[in-house]
Structure 1
């Protein structure tokens, strides 16, 4: 029988109660950013050369046409149908342009195959322009690929590690056009935006900034943004002012969440997510059917007259085993307590997930249950 009992003094079966950990103050720069700071997506099309016969096949007209177009820039005229190389692969190139990027900065790029190439191991990206959503070129990328895997096949035998058709080039793109970002936009105020909107946290951020600057310089506009007035004497040194704001300490509020991934059997929960009084019953039904095949022979071989012969007999046995038990969980216990106790009882992760979902449905789990 499986059972767990939570009491005021402890939990039976040697469960250690984990007290709710008090939230520690952190810098506000770790829970949000100033409005106007954003990354910009770049993408482009290119060719990877130098592959050892693992590139796009001759059936891929995109790669063949791209090779012919590339050679035409070097005063070489060749028809696309005449290209038969398997050492080239057509790829898409993506990168992220950080805020305040300046010309000459190096950024990382990701290269992905769009054809039927088997592997990008050993290849090098030819010069490829990276464009923004507005169609303008912001960076140029090229260089040797770094692939964290491989794939080799011969005579029907395949050996593969990780994903060989996706690669990266650390620092493989050079910024040509920077991004002009101004935190204040020549205004007298800035807005701090929380990464996870929450009214309580926004109010605490405004109070902490006011305690640092004095007065009522910061006002929580809503659960996401906090408006901050820039003092007239500090507008000429805006960077120093924003650095002081970023390092203000605040104790953020946290919503209770339990995240469950049924595909991998992963459960992630805050250690202080509470469970109300609830009774849980969990059991398993095991049915075993065994069949014994025997042969019945006549008492005297060769006697008994016509029609007497050996007879095959099947004897079946059905066994039903039911295991499981019920548990009573009192108040002031957490999800961590329950999961720890079930783990010590050697309850598998799938059963724990089912129990947590049932506890949530019963209204005893005071947290948002997220199933991925």
Structure 2
């Protein structure tokens, strides 16, 4: 037993060392912190017509009527001049899609179809072939197909209506065929740029150091967002290097201290970087109550008086007594939450307290109101 004692003590010391070692924040992959410039999706938009609706279309909407005449003309059918066709089975729609990076002609992408007029529902409709344009005005895809609509709209003769979800928006899975590829510069530029999702000089410097440690002389910082990467021009080697860079793990910088206040919903979010200087908070609630109990006054019998209402008001004020919360220097997020819960504050009161702490110089954080 005594011979094994040193080994047992050594094992116990090693276990305590591991247990008591400081816990570092989780490392992030480079691909989760940013992306290569040009390797992104592009938005496409088009104007089209959905037909085959069971009387839930746009009726005689002027721009829909003109579009239908144009479609009929392409099919070799001439509509009578001066006659507006009944179009309750058709609807004018906007078609949108995202063109992925490196999408090639012939590949299929999903499209979303939304009404722009008075159509009640797109359920059961089919989209007529529609060109999809990019920001440069060029056609990048052609869309057509039957819509899948998750919403439902029902109306009765007495005017009552029932709507479930959104029946005026539909989707066509793989409803568009790519006709043109977008140039990304992946195979033509000697220097590629990698951009952070959020600007941070410390994180950019750590990404540069991690890349140069594995591939010396590859990365340099241009600003708080962008790194310039000198990569081999040959496509096969470049792709392998980019894949390796994306899988490098680094320790990102701590986010700036922020308090986010949603003025519409009353939601308050405080991140873990928020710290407080020494401060004491006392939050009281004053309630003023006014009770009105008017009395009806009757005149004496056989008198010429009139019945009247005599006001009778009762005013009372009550102020709740609350404890005082004291924050020590460098109070953390958990201490702030515990103290504010002790005071029993509502979201609106919390915003007022945080604003007062900011004015007093005790709140070391940026307040963002959205």
Which band: TM-score by shorter chain? Answer: 0.7 to 0.9
Distance across 1 between alignment mates of 2:276 and 2:124: 55
Q: TM-score, normalised by structure 1?
A: 0.83
Distance across 2 between alignment mates of 1:329 and 1:156: 61
Q: Which runs of 5+ in 1 are unaligned?
A: 1-19
The list of structure 1 runs, each at least 4 consecutive aligned residues, that deviate by more than 6 angstroms after superposition, is: 308-311
Aligned match of 1:281: 282
1:104-154 per-position Cα deviation (integer Å, ceiling 9, x unaligned)? 222122222121212223322111111122322111111222333233233
Asked if residue 42 in structure 1 is aligned to residue 44 in structure 2, the reply is: yes
Residue pair 2:325, 2:343 contacting (<8 A) in 1 also: no
Distance across 2 between alignment mates of 1:136 and 1:242: 30
Number of residues paired by the alignment?
345
Q: TM-score, normalised by structure 2?
A: 0.84
Name the CA shift for 1:328/1:245 in 2 (closer, same or farther; >3 Å): same
Look up the SS of the partner of 2:259 in the other structure. Answer: strand
Name the CA shift for 1:27/1:157 in 2 (closer, same or farther; >3 Å): same
Of 211, 214, 218, which residue of structure 1 is paired with 2:213? Answer: 211
Look up the SS of the partner of 1:290 in the other structure. Answer: strand
Aligned match of 1:176: 179
1:338 is displaced (CA, Å) by 2.5
Aligned match of 1:201: 203
Aligned match of 1:352: 350
1:336 is displaced (CA, Å) by 4.7
1:200 is displaced (CA, Å) by 0.5
Distance across 1 between alignment mates of 2:111 and 2:232: 40
Aligned match of 1:321: 318
Aligned match of 1:13: none
Q: How does 1:33-72 map to 2 (within 5 A)?
A: 33-58=35-60, 60-72=61-73
Aligned match of 1:86: 88
Look up the SS of the partner of 1:317 in the other structure. Answer: strand
Q: How does 1:1-372 map to 2 (within 5 A)?
A: 22-58=24-60, 60-79=61-80, 81-154=83-156, 155-183=158-186, 185-187=188-190, 189-213=191-215, 215-230=216-231, 237-253=237-253, 254-295=255-296, 306=303, 312-323=309-320, 325=322, 326-343=324-341, 346-372=344-370
1:192-226 per-position Cα deviation (integer Å, ceiling 9, x unaligned)? 2111111111110011111222x333222221112
Residue pair 1:93, 1:112 contacting (<8 A) in 2 also: yes
Q: Which runs of 5+ in 2 are unaligned?
A: 1-21
Distance across 1 between alignment mates of 2:214 and 2:267: 41
Residue pair 1:281, 1:324 contacting (<8 A) in 2 also: no
Residue pair 1:21, 1:272 contacting (<8 A) in 2 also: no
Residue pair 2:256, 2:273 contacting (<8 A) in 1 also: no
Look up the SS of the partner of 1:82 in the other structure. Answer: coil
Distance across 2 between alignment mates of 1:311 and 1:99: 81
Residue pair 1:102, 1:177 contacting (<8 A) in 2 also: yes
Structure ranking higher on relative contact order (CA contacts 8 Å, 6+ apart): 1
Please tell me the root mean square deviation across aligned C-alpha atoms, in Å. Answer: 2.7
Distance across 1 between alignment mates of 2:201 and 2:259: 21
Name the CA shift for 1:368/1:85 in 2 (closer, same or farther; >3 Å): same
